Structure 1
Amino acid sequence: MFVFLLLAARYVELRARHHGSAQGDAVIDAAPLLAQRVAADGALDTVPALALRTGDLVHIAEGETVPADGALETDSARLDEALLSGEARPVLRRRGERLVAGSVLLDGPATLRVERSGEATAVARIGALAARARQARGFATASDREIARFVARVLLLTALTALGWLLLDPARAFDAALAVLVVACPCAFALTAPAAFTRALSALARHGVLVTDSAALTRLARVDTALFDKTGTLGVPRLELAGIEPLRGDSREEVLVLAAALARESSHPLAHALTDAASQFGPVQLAERVEAVAGAGLRGTVAGRALRLGRADFALGHAMAPERQRDALLLADAGGAIASFRLAERPRHDAQAVLDALRTDGITPCIASGDTPGRVAALAGMLGIADWRARQSPDDKLGRLRELHSEGHLVLAVGDGSNDAPILAGADVSAALAGGTGLARAQADLLLMNDRLVGLVHARTISGEVQRIVAQGRRWSLVYNLCAVPFAALGLVPPWLAGIGMSLSSLAVVLNALRTGRDDTGPRQELRA
């Protein structure tokens, strides 16, 4: 009976851990091994997916899996991205939009121009993060020091029990000491946290949240401030032709195509808005020697012209821009401004509901953005955020984080760009959108796989559940030991019964830990869309 109950407790714990690992393995295994590359004469060559190179054209048949990250070359395609985003509905992609390896083409055929393959694809990087999360043994368990103290006390109590019975009745000394040693085994004490955290990782994976540092869940339960980036995180930019102002007599289409040549080399949401708007006017020109300056803009060469695209002070080389252009994106060359672009911005569809849920849970939201004061104030006003900072460089954002820390706040940082990497690395807990830059994702403790902020609410709720369940397990372990150990020390509990009691205790705390993430009521239920 003792062996059965002990193995049952271990089985339940390992089953939960393996189930959580399967979530990451499913992502890693999503990309296919082979792909059909389009040769120069139009023939299809079957090659390993790892052999694909940037610029290759790949033919994808209906029902097949996208083998690499790249741009869609056909007019449109419907894809199932559920494994990566958690979204069950098919997604419609149009010419020029990016497809992600691991997606399934629902209607076809389609042609893909490869941008990243092999280990550079989003699915491979996500798989690496999942592996990192599983390999890191950073569970917020009882520390080794706590367990060592517990074991030392048990050994001391066992020795005192043996000594007492040797003086009273030596024949019963061994049985009594053994019963104390077995009944006070710290299995329940040590198993609670690993089982609860393993279950939490699995539950969050179902909600589209990949946890790359499980210890962050402990800190997340205590966070009281959320520091958000604006563009691409809380807001979604869009460009309309009315917002394009040529400044040298060029047409709107001409300046937009020039700007898009630089913008296509960036993953910033403003850059995506420009390239999406330019895609209706045909292929975008190729830019050379493109360099991204964090928090400022892009510079590069297009058709022999050295261009800059970004904030007015960056595009004009710190020269003064007219008042009406200071809140716009400027495209400029050595001769000055070529065009200005005014992008409208709307909040993400779930931003307001998520912010309301965080406020209800005691978290104060604030914004640190590199954008202009006018645009930051407008979005902050829409979302009811009073604390915001504009024109923040990466150093400024890090300074704001340090300021919050000096005031005694525990901070959750949320961003998607490379300029957010310093605060993501320095925050108590960090979260990045899966559609953000690789540098932002690499620094994040939580990865929002479906690009929806609601994952923050899921993570906060489940982190609170973990803390409560771990506390319950430890209280149970304490009460059990206080009740059982005296009886064992008095010789009233034989060793076989002590073994059964210890196993039942371990099984009880593991089963209790598996309740983590099963309650879908409350804010998480209301935020589903």
Structure 2
Amino acid sequence: MAAVTRPDPGSGAGSDPATASFDGTPMPPEGWTHCRHCGDAIAGDCCAAGHPGFCCAGCEGAFRLVNGLGLDGYYARRCLDPETRPLKPETDADAIPDYAPHVTAMEDGTASLPLLVEGLHCAACVWLIERLLAMQPGVDHARVNMTTRRLTVRWIPQADQGDTAAPDQGARRVLDPVLRVGYRLVPFDPAALGRDTDRTERALLRAMAVSGFAAGNIMLFSVSVWFGTDMSPTTRDLMHWLSALIAVPAIAYGIRPFARSAVTALRAGRANMDVPITLAVLLAAGMSLWETARGGPHAYFDAAVMLLFFLLIGRYLDSRARGRARSAAEHLLALGGHAVTVVEAGGGTRTLRPEAVPVGATVLVAVGERVGVDGTVAQGISDLDGSLITGETVPARAGPGDRVFAGTLNLSAPLRVRVDAVGDGTLLAEIVRMMEAAEQGRARYVALADRVSRLYAPVVHALALAAFLGWWLAGGLPWQEALLIAAAVLIITCPCALALAVPVVQVIASGRLLREGTFLKTATALERLREADTVVFDKTGTLTLGTPTVQPGGPDAPADPWGWSPDDLRLGAALAASSRHPLARALAAARPGTPALVGVREHPGAGLSWAGPAGETVRLGSASFCKAPADTVAAGPELWLRHGSARPVRFRFRDPLRPDAAAVVTALRARGLAVELLSGDRPATVETVARAAGIETWQAGRSPADKVAHIQALAARGRRVLMVGDGLNDAPALAAAHVSASPASAVDVSQTAADLVFQGDRLAPLLSALGVARRADRLVKQNFALAFAYNAVTIPLALAGLVTPLIAAVAMSTSSLVVITNALRLTRGAPPRPAAAATPPAAPREAPA
């Protein structure tokens, strides 16, 4: 039967087949005490009402449905969480939301609906929901994201199933089996993603505060006992009872996060690090209470509560890191979540949510507004900043017939856009899906401590049980004394050192990196960073500073027949001060303090013009706008200036490399790492940057999907990729990589998707992080060796009955101190600095797409 966290309803093994239920499962001799579907306790009147084995008729119907569809394997695989909504089917029809307003009609005739799943317990739930939906006629896509609880379902309306011409009419039919099983499906709300995480963090913070308060007060009583040389037994017992009065409620409150995890693991037939932690804390507290009740000289409340306090600190910090990583999808969705202005047939306008805009409608995009849909420009000419989507450094001109995408920023003039795709059909939504899929793949990575605990925990528990049974049954000791020996075994083998082996190194490594300007976000980032053997850089804002600057001109500049003079720069900066275009802002910044000219006119997608005092028009903009010769197009971004009929001059721009980019690339290659450049920019610009940075392998014009595909192709060849990027178009690749990094100047989405974020305008923090990761890995392995060596020495003594619980507690604390002291070695040593860059290759090659 099911391995559940709630009490197991029972398998019926060994019972009389004559009492078998409708599905052939024999009823246990004592009858079913817990519901076979949801796992809740069964009230006595349920069996009398004709629902034996179930708490209600709804659960019986759900059980029959799952078995009838041949999906009964769900009950053998699931692991129910007591803190999650039980799988009780909704009996109130009014409580089921109206899904029709949230259904999106797609171009291919299908209907799409994004939902959040309430009652999602484990991976078996994901399997069941996807299978139930896939069995419905017309459904061609059903995917559940375990991390965000997001369900996306897409179907073709079926006339023979009662669906009408409106695609939203099929939503209830498609979702009905999932609702009947007991899952609650609500329309997707990005804000709801973080609510559960916030609630968990608040609970951990409260438990940590209670444990810390209790630990501080119990320590006061313990110090009194330790140094009370003339203390009478009565006074000592009073101190122990006062400690117990504080410790027992604090432990009962603070142990819950670990106990829930431990019970869940045990019910699933496995052991994690929380199993021995929970047993050790509870047994130490229980034995202390026993010793206090019988007037014994030793109690260990201080050790138990202090251990719990430090473990809660680590659990809270881990939850914070996970919550930040989970919020990446929320930031992405927020970019496309702004209201859209729809132009009606009569010329009026109305505001709608992006997903509610019908395909084929016309929307108005004002200056400074982000496009909320994918579509085609119907009217207007403007410049669009698509750097978040494509990585292109220069805004692109958009006019009638040009495609635009959700998330791009309108810079110059209003546009009217005919809607081609909304909601889940947009390029932005595709980036979200790629990120979610990539995060799910990386979430399967198991921390080293958990991998070790799978073997460690069962051995420790078996030894303690063997000690108890051996001394009680074979040794002839009273069970109380045998239990004391077993307690000493568990206490002395309490995985404090093992539990601290990884966290203490992570905390010290995180602190060192933070002092060097690098923020470490995920619990397994150091392990994955140490394994990296390939570094893939984005270009704009990552290898480069992401800010265009004017290349030198005038007499000191390299020979350029169209070079500018200081007077040209002064005039160009005065015109550029009136524009929001990134290149115009860079030109204005080249002569700070230059006042803007009055009467400058902006021509969207072309440039600026100004009527000079002599009646001659001054133009600043594209080559065609300034009537420059056709054969003068530069490899990089440029602006032209023409004063009347005079010869035009050109301002060329470059995005400068980070100061140490070439040196860091050289240092990475010297450490044996392969280095590549992957960019959405133009080939000529990418090749120039690759040459300057000394990178031999590069690709240009890559879309977000192309970047993810390249990362996955490298992974398929056995490479462990460190992806470094800063734009929205890099976010899926950051999530797909084995480990990822992002500069602090990156967009929020990239920072939340990355495993570490580094400050400043240099790449040296990457070298420091790699060095710290490798040292941390060595220290973690040394800590594990010390912990196991300690156990190899002390466990035989404890099994032999030569160790009292007090000595066990002291030895346990000593092992923890040794582990912490060893980890502190990570604070020594200066961060590595990149050496001077070697001469870059003369001709970096473009990698095959």
| TM-score bucket (shorter structure) | 0.5 to 0.7
* Structure 2 equivalent of residue 354 of structure 1: 664
TM-superposed CA distance for 1:16, in Å, is: 10
| 1:354-503 aligned within 5 A | 354-503=664-813
1: CA distance, partners of 2:714 / 2:765 = 23
User: 1:194/1:308 Cα in 2 relative to 1: closer, same or farther (>3 Å)?
Assistant: farther
Greater CA deviation, 504-513 or 272-281? 272-281
TM-superposed CA distance for 1:261, in Å, is: 5.7
**Per-residue deviation, residues 331-350 of structure 1 (Å, max 9, x unmatched):** 69xxxxx9965224543221
| 1:32-181 aligned within 5 A | 142-144=448-450, 146-147=452-453, 149-171=455-477, 173-181=482-490
* Structure 2 equivalent of residue 197 of structure 1: 506
**Per-residue deviation, residues 51-89 of structure 1 (Å, max 9, x unmatched):** xxxxxxxxxxxxxxxxxxxxxxxxxxxxxxxxxxxxxxx
- Tell me, yes or no, if structure 1 residue 238 matches structure 2 residue 549: yes
Report SS of the residue matched to 1:160. helix
Report SS of the residue matched to 1:185. coil
- Tell me, yes or no, if structure 1 residue 329 matches structure 2 residue 637: yes
- Tell me, yes or no, if structure 1 residue 282 matches structure 2 residue 595: yes
Q: Identify unmatched segments of 5+ residues in structure 1.
A: 25-136, 287-301, 333-337
TM-superposed CA distance for 1:482, in Å, is: 1.8
TM-superposed CA distance for 1:7, in Å, is: 8.4
Greater CA deviation, 217-226 or 385-394? 385-394
* Structure 1 equivalent of residue 815 of structure 2: 505
* Contact 2:662 2:693 (8 Å CA) reproduced: yes
Report SS of the residue matched to 1:343. strand
User: 1:524/1:424 Cα in 2 relative to 1: closer, same or farther (>3 Å)?
Assistant: same
Match of 1:222, as an amino acid?
E
2: CA distance, partners of 1:420 / 1:307 = 27
TM-superposed CA distance for 1:442, in Å, is: 3.4
Greater CA deviation, 497-506 or 440-449? 440-449
Report SS of the residue matched to 2:531. coil
User: 1:374/1:259 Cα in 2 relative to 1: closer, same or farther (>3 Å)?
Assistant: farther
* Contact 1:244 1:341 (8 Å CA) reproduced: no
Report SS of the residue matched to 2:722. strand
User: 1:148/1:430 Cα in 2 relative to 1: closer, same or farther (>3 Å)?
Assistant: closer
* Contact 2:787 2:815 (8 Å CA) reproduced: yes
* Contact 1:138 1:215 (8 Å CA) reproduced: no
Q: Identify unmatched segments of 5+ residues in structure 2.
A: 1-225, 227-298, 322-442, 554-559, 608-621, 641-647, 837-849
2: CA distance, partners of 1:419 / 1:162 = 60
* Structure 2 equivalent of residue 38 of structure 1: none
**Alignment TM-score, normalising by the size of structure 2:** 0.39
TM-superposed CA distance for 1:220, in Å, is: 0.7
* Contact 2:735 2:754 (8 Å CA) reproduced: yes
Report SS of the residue matched to 1:233. helix
2: CA distance, partners of 1:382 / 1:241 = 17
2: CA distance, partners of 1:393 / 1:322 = 29
Match of 2:682, as an amino acid?
T
1: CA distance, partners of 2:651 / 2:834 = 40
TM-superposed CA distance for 1:17, in Å, is: 7.5
2: CA distance, partners of 1:259 / 1:417 = 26
User: 1:170/1:308 Cα in 2 relative to 1: closer, same or farther (>3 Å)?
Assistant: farther
User: 1:341/1:366 Cα in 2 relative to 1: closer, same or farther (>3 Å)?
Assistant: farther
* Contact 1:165 1:173 (8 Å CA) reproduced: yes
* Structure 2 equivalent of residue 217 of structure 1: 526
2: CA distance, partners of 1:407 / 1:308 = 46
1: CA distance, partners of 2:494 / 2:816 = 9
User: 1:455/1:481 Cα in 2 relative to 1: closer, same or farther (>3 Å)?
Assistant: same
User: 1:272/1:358 Cα in 2 relative to 1: closer, same or farther (>3 Å)?
Assistant: farther
Report SS of the residue matched to 1:515. helix
Match of 1:179, as an amino acid?
A
Match of 1:329, as an amino acid?
P
TM-superposed CA distance for 1:199, in Å, is: 1.2
**Per-residue deviation, residues 414-472 of structure 1 (Å, max 9, x unmatched):** 22333333322332222222223334333322221223211111111111122111111
RMSD over aligned Cα, in angstroms? 4.4
**Per-residue deviation, residues 149-193 of structure 1 (Å, max 9, x unmatched):** 533322221121222222443226334323222211111111111
User: 1:163/1:395 Cα in 2 relative to 1: closer, same or farther (>3 Å)?
Assistant: closer
Report SS of the residue matched to 1:508. helix
* Contact 1:229 1:414 (8 Å CA) reproduced: yes
**Alignment TM-score, normalising by the size of structure 1:** 0.60
* Structure 1 equivalent of residue 605 of structure 2: 307
2: CA distance, partners of 1:197 / 1:216 = 9
2: CA distance, partners of 1:190 / 1:323 = 68
* Contact 1:414 1:432 (8 Å CA) reproduced: yes
2: CA distance, partners of 1:374 / 1:502 = 63
1: CA distance, partners of 2:808 / 2:815 = 11
TM-superposed CA distance for 1:399, in Å, is: 3.2
Match of 1:239, as an amino acid?
V
* Contact 2:669 2:675 (8 Å CA) reproduced: yes
Match of 2:524, as an amino acid?
A
Match of 2:470, as an amino acid?
G
2: CA distance, partners of 1:359 / 1:139 = 27
Match of 1:305, as an amino acid?
H
Match of 1:452, as an amino acid?
R
* Contact 1:139 1:214 (8 Å CA) reproduced: no
* Contact 2:638 2:653 (8 Å CA) reproduced: no
* Contact 2:573 2:589 (8 Å CA) reproduced: no
Report SS of the residue matched to 1:231. helix
TM-superposed CA distance for 1:240, in Å, is: 3.2
TM-superposed CA distance for 1:505, in Å, is: 0.7
Structure scoring higher RCO (CA < 8 A, sep ≥ 6) equals 1
Match of 2:517, as an amino acid?
G
* Contact 1:8 1:507 (8 Å CA) reproduced: no
**Per-residue deviation, residues 470-512 of structure 1 (Å, max 9, x unmatched):** 1111111112212221222122333322221111111211222
Match of 1:230, as an amino acid?
K
User: 1:383/1:464 Cα in 2 relative to 1: closer, same or farther (>3 Å)?
Assistant: same
TM-superposed CA distance for 1:255, in Å, is: 6.1
User: 1:283/1:5 Cα in 2 relative to 1: closer, same or farther (>3 Å)?
Assistant: farther
* Contact 1:6 1:507 (8 Å CA) reproduced: no
Report SS of the residue matched to 1:388. strand
User: 1:439/1:245 Cα in 2 relative to 1: closer, same or farther (>3 Å)?
Assistant: farther
1: CA distance, partners of 2:597 / 2:729 = 26
2: CA distance, partners of 1:369 / 1:261 = 31
TM-superposed CA distance for 1:412, in Å, is: 1.4
Which has the larger Rg? 2
2: CA distance, partners of 1:202 / 1:166 = 49
User: 1:160/1:436 Cα in 2 relative to 1: closer, same or farther (>3 Å)?
Assistant: closer
